[in-house]
Structure 1
Amino acid sequence: MIAHPDGHLADYLASLDRIEELFSAGRARRLLPGHGPEVADPLQWLRYYRDHRHERLAEVRAAVERYGPSVELVTAAVYPDTTGQIRTAARMIVRAQLEYLLKEPE
């Protein structure tokens, strides 16, 4: 979870790119995430997480175009089925995504 104010989406995406470079160059052989088992296909895993993040950013962009940069409205649009503590976490994620989009519009 990349959550504002501690998590920065640009750093996360750069890390995924760097790790992919290491695997592609044969300089890394195993991917051991902070939780869960060793990743069987690191390149596929890295691409999945990067693609997922970009898909979510597209949803956030669309919500901003429709509702403006309101954390509450964007969260409701992008994470409609969340409530309680999960909604609080979703707001933190949306804040990080909005911060990223302000600095990296495309």
Structure 2
Amino acid sequence: MSTSTTESATGRAMPPVVYVPTTDDPDPHQRHIVMHHVEDGRTALYAYSAPDRLEDFYLPGSPWVLCDIPTLQRIHDETPYDLLFVDVDPGLREDTSEVTA
């Protein structure tokens, strides 16, 4: 992941910050980033360019953390993920398979 001009698979520029879903532990310092397994077994991190997109595409009322690109890289270094989806509906209303980091 490059901090200069990072682009998504669609060719659109990566937003400078994204909202990433977390677990809902009452203590914010104990929350963890939520990752998911996709059908082919890879691990995916879903991120959203705005809180309303997280609300619309992910699960309503989900807690989140604001991440810039260096933070996404740090998350990847600590708990590698194979895919980074931005503003994508993971279909969680039907499927609840997830991994917490």
TM-score (norm 1): 0.24
Which entry has the higher C-alpha Rg, 1 or 2? 1
TM-score (norm 2): 0.25
Q: Whose helix proportion is higher, 1 or 2?
A: 1
